[in-house]
Structure formats: structure tokens, C-alpha cells
Amino acid sequence: MKLSAIPTTVRTTCPYCGVGCGVNAQVGQDGAIAIAGDVAHPASQGRLCVKGSALGETLGNHGRLLAPMVREDGKPRGTLREASWDEALDKVAQGFARVIAEHGPEAVALYVSGQLLTEDYYVANKFMKGYVGSANIDTNSRLCMSSAVAGHKRAFGEDVVPGNYEDFELADLIVLVGSNAAWCHPTLYQRIARAKQERPELKVVVIDPRRTATCDIADLHLPVKPGTDVWLFDGLFGHLAGHAADEGFVDAHTTGLADALDAAAKAGSPADVARTCRVDPRDLERFYDLFANTEKVVTAFTMGVNQSTSGADKVNAIINCHLITGRIGRPGMGPFSLTGQPNAMGGREVGGLANMLAAHMDLDDAAQRAALQDFWGSPRVADKPGLKAVDLFRAIEEGKVKAVWIMATNPLVSLPDADQARRALEKCELVVASDIVLGTDTNEAAHVLLPALGWGEKDGTVTNSERCISRQRAFLSAPGSARADWDIICDVARRMGYAGFEFTSAHEIFDEHARLSGWKNGTDGQRRRVFDIKGLAGMTRADYDALDPVQWPVRTPGEATARLFGDGHFAHGDGRARFVPTVPRAPAYLPGGDYPLVLNTGRVRDQWHTMTRTGRSQKLAEHVPEPFIDMHPQDALLCGVKAGELARVTSDWGAVVARVQHGGGIARGSVFMPIHWSGQTASDARVGTVVNPAVDPVSGEPEFKHTPVRIEPFGVTWYGFILSRTELPLREAANWTRIQGKDFIRYELAGRKPFADAAAWTRRLLDVHDEDADWIEVEDKNGGMVRAAHLVDGRIESCLFVAQRADLPARAWLASMFDKDKLEPADRISLLAGRAKEKGFDAGPTVCSCFGVGRKTIEIAIRQNNLCDAAAVTACTKAGGNCGSCIPEIRSLLAEAQVAEA
Ligand code: SF4
């Protein structure tokens, strides 16, 4: 379907990570969409990573949910049929109203997402907490940064990130903890890399169990044992107390130092800490001295810290080190929570978590609850915390929550113990899902599907990691009958008889949100809240449309706030920050017995969440096409698995299958798997099914980084792959992965049943039933090899390669056959030979997705031209010359070449 477009350049914001880069989107006359970085956006200054650059490829109506749908028989996996908006919304409103009437407000819930815009989030929260009267609204941000929220609230009195991105350039020491910024916050990482290039005295320390791409710029890498960060920072805290304490700051602006130091002492001496964390004691001493002796320190942390059963304590252990040195809120220094999602921060501003109220008001403060109810004029306001994500899905399975509305997220893939989440939804009386795509694991369990607007179609605001509010603007018209999330929620609310949902635009909602932030803020005996954007209230529609990125607080029009707490005044009632005692404790489940290894999970460079958008881009698929298990070669040997072959990863909660690889800088005893693959893109790689459901007792954030597992071979008798212009049923495969190609779909396969009659078997696999089809095939019976291709009018339609071993022919040159209108005789021969006609055609796995440059191409260029730095590789091959996301990998190849030559 052709996209209808508003033909201008529109300034908007990237919908992926928390860096929040500015994007210029332009729709051409032919509907083609050009994406470029917005040089005027302060977060990114014109830069985009490979995911942002490929945004244009992820648009289009293919696979979209374009109309409301309901299940005929009301059961998950029953027949879906299209419905009118009236029918679908009545079903939702009446279903929710019935459950509330019969079982009370705690029997319904919303589960929302950091993909929502602030305006969507605002009305969702108002609907639940102000009108339904329950705080059962939680968000997938619970899974990525609720530990940071808890840490901020405990230390500062409010969920506030004190600094901004410029601090990374002004710092003399940057400590990156549990953060593979090179892959997960790429443009910020490149900003650090550039600062370090200009100022080599800027030191970078990476604290991470894995040697990730981020270590490319590290002066020191501390490969800590997973789960031991509190020991490390408690040890640092004790060291700073003796060597770098700012007593004036501590006395004037903090409380609780003695108790916190007592707790930290339990981590032991630096030698004990080094032993517990399994790091070289000399490296630990170096880090402690570097931190103690450097005034301008930024400690940035993300999922490696937050996703832990002691995540909140890890955050506070880091903040304690900044408080004791008084290094906070001034240029070039401070603790810095890097958020995972584009609007995790905006969701926090409007109370999108089950234990928060809107506008940073406190749920456990009766006066603030009353103030909120007064502002909304609502019949009630929730007076106790709701269910956090993991508890919510348990309550659904137990039948306590009987209706749930899921918006813009895919919990059957992303939650820990994801099979439990599936069981929960299969039991739930009413599951509503608002989404932009039809085919997701979660949507398969929904009774009502509501088509929402996606990026490029919706309009509103997001807030990035540095408190910068930016506009996401529409440049495409709504596909099908899709509607904005806020509009859908308001419609349901009105059908339930709730007043206060008469909004007609995102602008009106933003205005109410801004006014609420100033409501009884520091007046009427109320605490003065740092989150205050009343200076943005009262904007005209035109002002809102033209709103430039601005960092909150914005108390008066035109104000913006680069940093907070530099004056030593914090958000607790007494204005003082709190040192929080953080006694180190082990993760919930430890390796041993049947599960000797520790599974860590995370992102890969070119994919986002459950791939419902990035999975549509051929360019992004090429970097890491398949799910993998990265493990140390010696562990692989002990487990009897080999690189390139499939292995099963099993925990107490479930099992997945993926291809073994080495080289991710992983230590003995640990394995790593990516989070992105779902039941739509792979047969058995939904890693959430394996992850343990233990949560942090303070924040409720799950422990995605530490699940005991075992690894064993996944026995198959053959490996294969298919390239096909159409989707195939894959009946014969024991394991498969679906990968988006340019003009085809690629399936990586493996199977158990030997193929007796190759001719019939290959035709079944390629779904070719016409005896007269143009069919070419070769079989080596003794060698267990089969190759076949189906052509229509001389053009390749599909092809299949199967062998007993995993090392099959390169896919890249085969893919080029799909560009041809007609195969020449030589092409047919080369197809069956499994070899390109031209030598050197196989470029190897993609390194640079922007220009499609493969590993082999770069290796050859380095060797033949004696290239010795990344800039020379870029000049020679173009790799790294656009977004720069692949530069760490290019540097690794340069290092490997140097080692090989030596
Ligand atoms: Fe988007 Fe990449 Fe920028 Fe993150 S770093 S906001 S994914 S362009």
C-alpha cells in the first residue's frame, strides 16, 4: 500500500533508545522516506545510529494492524475477525465495567510501555488511578529502569537525573557500569569517543562482565563477576571516605553517612572486594585511585545495574560515591541513569509505574493524593500501590486480575518466565491489546486488538535520559483506521461514563500535564516537586507544534534547566540527600548442580526490543541474523557444543535453542543471549522463557542478567537454509529462524528426520506441488547434501541448501540471485555448485549495515593495503563512514590483523 504523506521535512525524535536523537523525516513525491539526523537537536547534534538511520525501512503497511479485531469464540488463538471501532471499544468498556462491578477495581489492569508518548501515558494513568480507582497500571519500563527510579527517590527524594549529555564531554573520568553504550546508546557513545579523541586525558573505565564493543575506548575494563557491583561500589565508597570525602558538602547537604559506611564495610577490604568481584586487585586499586583523584567524574549506568535483585542498591551504591565526594549536579560530574526506551522518562513524569502518581506526586502521601484528585476532579484516586509487572502477570494467572489492556508492548516475549505470562493471558477473561502490528506473540493471546498509530503517524512528546522533552511529530497519515493511543483510551473512558476525557488533541493533554506539574507544587503545605513544567502550560497549538527540545524543570516560559542539585538542595523535605545503606547480597539464584552457568541477556547493535519494527529492515537484519549463545570456548568444550552448531539453553523456568558462538568477550562461567527473537521470528529463541522471575524487593525490577542455566547440544541430523520470495510453512524443521531479506525471506533451518526421498522432501520444504515446475536439484546421498531451486519464468522463486554440517554456502551471493529477472545457465550451475561465479563475491557477515560492508571485505582491505586505523578502513571500504556504529568492530578487526601479522 502506498503511504500517503504530508510533503515537508518534519523534525521529530527517534523512537528507539533513551538517547532521544533528533530526526528529520522527509517524504518524497513517490512516497519514499528520507531520514537524516537533526543538527539542531541538542541530544544528538545531527547524528543517528544505524537503527535510527534505517527508520525509513521499517515503515509501510505490511504486517500492520489496520482495523480493530475481535476473536469470534472469545478464546486466545480463536478466529479473529474485523470489527468496527464501536463494537471493539464497547467490548473493552463493557468488559472492564463488568469486571469492576463484579470484582472491584483491583481486578482490572493496564500494562503499558516506554514506547507510548507522554500524552498517551498521561491519559492511561488518569484513567486507572483517577477513575477506575486502582494503581494497577505498570509499564515495560519496570523491566529496564525502575531500579534507577527507586535509587533516585531514595537518595534525592525524587526521580531526577541530575546531569546532561554535555557532562560526558566535560568529564575527566567516565565510568560506564553495566552499559554496552557502543551498541545500546550509540550516538552518546560516539560523543564520548570523540571527546576522548580530542582530549586523550579523558579516562574511560568500563565495568562489565563482558568485554563488549564499548571497551574499545576503555582505559580500564573491570570484568566483574556478574551480580557483584554493590561490593565494588561499597568498596569504592569506603575508599573515598578515607581519601576524597567532601566533608563540607556532606555536612551541609546530606544525612546518613555513618550508617551507609557501616553497611558498605560489609563488602570487606579492597582485597576482599577484588576476590569477590573476581577482578585483578591492581586494576581495582587503579580504579579506586582514579575515581578518588578525579574531580569531574560521570558514572553512567544502565541495564547491567538495574536488572538485578539488588538493582536499587547498586544504583544507591553508585550515588553514595558521588554524594560523599560532592560530585553531583555540576558540569562534568554526577551519577547518570541511561534509560533504555525513548520515553521511559516521560512515563515516569506522568506516574506510569504502579507505585507512582502523576507529576512526581507520591502515592503514599495523602495530601498529594487529595491534591491530584482535586486537580482532576475525579471521583476517586488510587490510595495504594498497584501490581508491578511480574506480580501483575502472577495475579492474572491466579485469577485475581480478570481484565488487562496491554499497550505497545509484547510481554509474552519480554517478561521473565515468559511462559508464565502466556499461561496468565490464556486464563484471563479479557485481554485487550493496542498495537501497530498484527503478528506478535502477545496479540495471539488477545481477545480484542486495537490498531494504534506508529512512529511517523503519531504526535506528542517524549523525554530522554537527560530530562529533555522533545516532540515526536507525524509526517504520515493514519494507516487503515488506526488511532492515537490517547484517543482510544479517552473513547473507552467516555464509554465507561468517566468525565475528564474530552481531549481532542495531544496538545490539550500536554497542557493539562504541564498545568498539573505546577499544581500545589511547593504551596498549600505541599512538598516542592522538582518536576515542574508549568512554564510550558498555556501554549497555543502552534507553540506546541513548534516546541523545541527543552530540559525540565521549566518553571517559567523560556526557562530550561541543564543540571540539578548543584546547589546542594535536594528534593527530600529537609532539602538533604540521603546516603542509603547498601549491604551487598548475592543474586536470587546461584549457579551449581544442574545449572552451572550464568545466563546474561541484552541487546544487539542493530535490533530493537522484540523486532516488530527493526525486524522489517533487511539492512538491520544482516548484522546479527540469528539468535545466538555466546560462550567461552572452554565452557563450550565442557558442554559438548561447537561454534556454529545449535545448542539448548535450559533453566528451571524453560528452554531455548540458538547457535553457539565465541568472541563476545565472555568470561568462563557466563553465557550471553540477545533478547530480540520472538515466536514470530524463531522457533525456540524467546529468551524470556528461560529468565528467572526474581525481582528486586525495592524496585520490582527482574533479574535479567543472572539466571543459572545448563547448555547441551541440540541434536540434529541436518542443517539448511532457504531463501524464498514467499512465506513458507516450515513443517519439516526442528528449529528455524526467519530473517527479512531484500526481496525474499531467509529461513535458517535444522532438522532431525533424515530425508529418504530428497526430491519429494525438498519440494515439500519449498511448498512446490506442481510436477511441471521449473525445478533444479542436486543430491549427494552419501554426503547427506541436497540443493534445490524453484524458478518461475526463469526467475528464482526459492532455493534450498541442506547438509549434514552447519557450514553451508555463503548466503550473500545467493541473495544476489533474487535481484535478477532471469538466471543465466552459468547462474544455474553456480547455484547447484553452491559457489559464486566470481571469486571473492562472499563479503562475509555484515559489519557496516549502512553500506553493507562485510567482515571479509574489511579483512582483505586491511591486509592488502596495510591499513592501521579505522579512518583508513573507512576511506578504503566506506565501512564506518555513516553512523559509525560499527567502528568498534572495525577496530577489533584491525587488532586481529595486527596480532595475526605479529
Ligand atoms: Fe535512535 Fe540510535 Fe539515537 Fe538511540 S542512538 S535515539 S536508537 S538514533
Pocket test for ligand 1, best of 13, 16, 470, 614 (most atoms within 8 A of CB): 16
Residues 614 and 58: their CA atoms lie apart, in Å, by 6
Are the beta carbons of 828 and 801 closer than 8 angstroms?
A: no
Which of 791, 812, 833 is the C-terminal boundary of a domain?
833
Q: How far is the CA of 299 from the centre of ligand 1 (A)?
A: 20
Instruction: Decide: helix, strand or coil at residue 332.
Output: coil
Residues 297 and 202: their CA atoms lie apart, in Å, by 10
**Rounded mean pLDDT of 590-611?**
93
Q: Work out the mean pLDDT of the chain and round it to a whole number.
A: 93
Residues 797 and 199: their CA atoms lie apart, in Å, by 55
**Rounded mean pLDDT of 318-330?**
98
Instruction: Decide: helix, strand or coil at residue 7.
Output: coil
Nearest to 291 by CA among 222, 188, 189, 197: 222
In sequence order, what are the residues at sequence separation of 6 or more whose Cβ sits closer than 8 angstroms to the Cβ of residue 690? 599, 649, 650, 651, 653, 654, 655, 656, 673, 707, 709
Q: Is residue 512, in this structure, part of any structural domain at all?
A: yes
Q: Is residue 268, in this structure, part of any structural domain at all?
A: yes
Atom of ligand 1 nearest to the CA of 14: 1
Q: Is residue 20, in this structure, part of any structural domain at all?
A: no
Pocket test for ligand 1, best of 35, 44, 48 (most atoms within 8 A of CB): 48
Instruction: Indicate if 150 and 139 belong to the same structural domain.
Output: no
Could you list the residue range(s) of the whole structural domain that residue 869 is in?
Answer: 846-901
For the chain, percent of residues with pLDDT exceeding 70: 98
Give CA torsion, residues 825, 831, 837, 840, to 10 deg: 160
Q: 246-297, pLDDT tens digit by residue?
A: 999 999 999 999 999 999 999 999 999 999 999 999 999 999 999 999 999 9
Instruction: Decide: helix, strand or coil at residue 631.
Output: strand
Q: Where are the beta strands (DSSP E) in 725-815?
A: 735-740, 745-751, 774-780, 785-792, 795-803
Burial of 602 (0-12, 13-18, 19+ CB in 10 A): buried
The stretches of 377-461 forming alpha helices (DSSP H) are 389-397, 411-414, 418-427
Instruction: Indicate if 650 and 767 belong to the same structural domain.
Output: no
Atom of ligand 1 nearest to the CA of 342: 6
Pocket test for ligand 1, best of 35, 49, 190, 620 (most atoms within 8 A of CB): 49
Pocket test for ligand 1, best of 185, 609, 676 (most atoms within 8 A of CB): 185
Q: Is residue 157, in this structure, part of any structural domain at all?
A: yes
Instruction: Indicate if 664 and 788 belong to the same structural domain.
Output: no
Are the beta carbons of 616 and 740 closer than 8 angstroms?
A: yes
Nearest to 476 by CA among 507, 460, 455: 455
User: For residue 261, what is the enclosing H or E element?
Assistant: helix 257-265
- Supply the pLDDT for residue 833: 83
Q: Is residue 220, in this structure, part of any structural domain at all?
A: yes
pLDDT at 835 over 80: no
Q: How far is the CA of 22 from the centre of ligand 1 (A)?
A: 9
Q: How far is the CA of 54 from the centre of ligand 1 (A)?
A: 10
Atom of ligand 1 nearest to the CA of 13: 6
Phi-psi region of 126 (alpha: psi -120 to 50; beta: other; left: phi over 0): alpha
Q: How far is the CA of 139 from the centre of ligand 1 (A)?
A: 21
- Supply the pLDDT for residue 731: 76
Q: Is residue 36, in this structure, part of any structural domain at all?
A: no
Of the pLDDT bands very low, low, confident and very high (cuts 50, 70, 90), residue 851 is confident
Residues 623 and 180: their CA atoms lie apart, in Å, by 17
- Supply the pLDDT for residue 418: 96
Q: 685-709, pLDDT tens digit by residue?
A: 999 999 999 999 999 999 999 999 9
Pocket test for ligand 1, best of 19, 189, 607 (most atoms within 8 A of CB): 19
Which of 713, 730, 761 is the C-terminal boundary of a domain?
713
Instruction: Indicate if 302 and 367 belong to the same structural domain.
Output: no
Q: Is residue 675, in this structure, part of any structural domain at all?
A: yes
| Inter-CA distances, 715 with 192, 750, 768, 804, Å | 45, 9, 28, 11
Kindly report the number of other CB atoms within 10 A of residue 645's CB atom. 18
Of the pLDDT bands very low, low, confident and very high (cuts 50, 70, 90), residue 31 is confident
Structure-model confidence comparison of residues 844 and 280, the more confident one: 280
Q: How far is the CA of 48 from the centre of ligand 1 (A)?
A: 6
Of the pLDDT bands very low, low, confident and very high (cuts 50, 70, 90), residue 840 is low
Spacing of C-alpha 678 from chain mean position: 14
- Supply the pLDDT for residue 578: 98
Weakest mean pLDDT among 138-147, 407-416, 825-834: 825-834
Spacing of C-alpha 563 from chain mean position: 26
Show the cell assigned to 49: 545510529
Atom of ligand 1 nearest to the CA of 48: 8
For 653, phi and psi rounded to 5 degrees? -105, -20
- Supply the pLDDT for residue 77: 66
What is this structure's pTM? 0.94
Instruction: Indicate if 646 and 518 belong to the same structural domain.
Output: no
Burial of 839 (0-12, 13-18, 19+ CB in 10 A): exposed
Burial of 79 (0-12, 13-18, 19+ CB in 10 A): exposed
Nearest residue by C-alpha to atom 4 in ligand 1: 17
Instruction: Indicate if 240 and 316 belong to the same structural domain.
Output: yes
pLDDT at 778 over 60: yes
pLDDT at 214 over 50: yes
Nearest to 141 by CA among 394, 435, 355, 432: 355
Nearest to 759 by CA among 781, 733, 783, 744: 781
Atom of ligand 1 nearest to the CA of 15: 1
Instruction: Decide: helix, strand or coil at residue 702.
Output: strand
Instruction: Indicate if 487 and 547 belong to the same structural domain.
Output: yes
Q: Where are the beta strands (DSSP E) in 781-868?
A: 785-792, 795-803, 846-848, 853-854
Spacing of C-alpha 682 from chain mean position: 18
Nearest to 110 by CA among 91, 129, 94: 129
Q: 77-111, pLDDT tens digit by residue?
A: 678 999 999 999 999 999 999 999 999 999 999 99
Q: How far is the CA of 39 from the centre of ligand 1 (A)?
A: 14
Q: 351-391, pLDDT tens digit by residue?
A: 989 999 999 999 999 999 999 999 999 999 999 999 999 99
- Supply the pLDDT for residue 7: 54
Q: How far is the CA of 42 from the centre of ligand 1 (A)?
A: 13
pLDDT at 3 over 60: no
Q: 152-187, pLDDT tens digit by residue?
A: 999 999 999 999 999 999 999 999 999 999 999 999
* Angle in degrees, 0-180, between the axes of helices 418-427 and 389-397, rounded to the nearest 10: 50
Q: How far is the CA of 149 from the centre of ligand 1 (A)?
A: 22
Instruction: Indicate if 195 and 265 belong to the same structural domain.
Output: yes
Q: How far is the CA of 19 from the centre of ligand 1 (A)?
A: 6
Ligand 1 cavity residues, CB under 6 Å: 14, 16-17, 19-21, 44, 48-49, 51-52, 185-187
Q: How far is the CA of 613 from the centre of ligand 1 (A)?
A: 14
DSSP, res 94: H
Show the cell assigned to 179: 552499559
Kindly report the number of other CB atoms within 10 A of residue 675's CB atom. 24
> What CATH number does the domain containing 131 carry?
3.40.50.740
Buried b (16+ CB within 10 A) or exposed e, 705-742: bbbbbbbeebebebbbbbbbeeebebebbbbbbbbbbe
* Angle in degrees, 0-180, between the axes of helices 485-495 and 118-125, rounded to the nearest 10: 20
Instruction: Decide: helix, strand or coil at residue 855.
Output: helix
Residues 503 and 236: their CA atoms lie apart, in Å, by 51
Pocket test for ligand 1, best of 13, 14, 35, 345 (most atoms within 8 A of CB): 14
Give the bridge partners for 458, in sequence order: none
Which of 313, 337, 361 is the C-terminal boundary of a domain?
337
Are the beta carbons of 769 and 741 closer than 8 angstroms?
A: no
In sequence order, what are the residues at sequence separation of 6 or more whose Cβ sits closer than 8 angstroms to the Cβ of residue 242? none
Number of domains in the chain: 5
Instruction: Indicate if 294 and 376 belong to the same structural domain.
Output: no
Q: The sheet that has 550-551: what strands, in order across it?
A: 460-463, 468-472, 550-551
Q: How far is the CA of 341 from the centre of ligand 1 (A)?
A: 10
Structure-model confidence comparison of residues 232 and 753, the more confident one: 232
> What CATH number does the domain containing 861 carry?
1.10.10.1100
Instruction: Decide: helix, strand or coil at residue 225.
Output: coil
> What CATH number does the domain containing 628 carry?
2.40.40.20
Instruction: Decide: helix, strand or coil at residue 177.
Output: strand
Q: Where are the beta strands (DSSP E) in 585-693?
A: 597-602, 628-631, 646-650, 655-661, 670-674
Nearest residue by C-alpha to atom 3 in ligand 1: 21
Question: Can you spell out the DSSP letters for 492-545?
Answer: HHHHTT-SS----SHHHHHHHHHHHHHTTSS-TTPPPPS---GGGTT--HHHHH
Residues 179 and 845: their CA atoms lie apart, in Å, by 25
Radius of gyration of the chain (CA): 27
pLDDT at 592 over 50: yes
The 8 Å CB, 24+ separation contacts for 194-203 are: 195/168, 195/169, 201/172, 202/171, 202/172, 202/173, 202/174, 203/172, 203/173, 203/174, 203/290, 203/294
* Angle in degrees, 0-180, between the axes of helices 311-325 and 257-265, rounded to the nearest 10: 120
For the chain, percent of residues with pLDDT exceeding 90: 79
Show the cell assigned to 385: 500501590
Nearest to 747 by CA among 716, 718, 722: 722
- Supply the pLDDT for residue 121: 96
Are the beta carbons of 457 and 152 closer than 8 angstroms?
A: no
Instruction: Indicate if 126 and 210 belong to the same structural domain.
Output: no
Instruction: Indicate if 768 and 889 belong to the same structural domain.
Output: no
Q: Is residue 43, in this structure, part of any structural domain at all?
A: no
Q: 55-73, pLDDT tens digit by residue?
A: 998 998 889 999 999 998 7
Burial of 406 (0-12, 13-18, 19+ CB in 10 A): buried
Instruction: Indicate if 239 and 353 belong to the same structural domain.
Output: no
Tell me the residue length of the chain.
902
* Angle in degrees, 0-180, between the axes of helices 506-518 and 118-125, rounded to the nearest 10: 70
Are the beta carbons of 43 and 464 closer than 8 angstroms?
A: yes
pLDDT at 899 over 50: yes
The stretches of 308-364 forming alpha helices (DSSP H) are 311-325, 344-349
In sequence order, what are the residues at sequence separation of 6 or more whose Cβ sits closer than 8 angstroms to the Cβ of residue 738? 680, 681, 682, 745, 746, 747
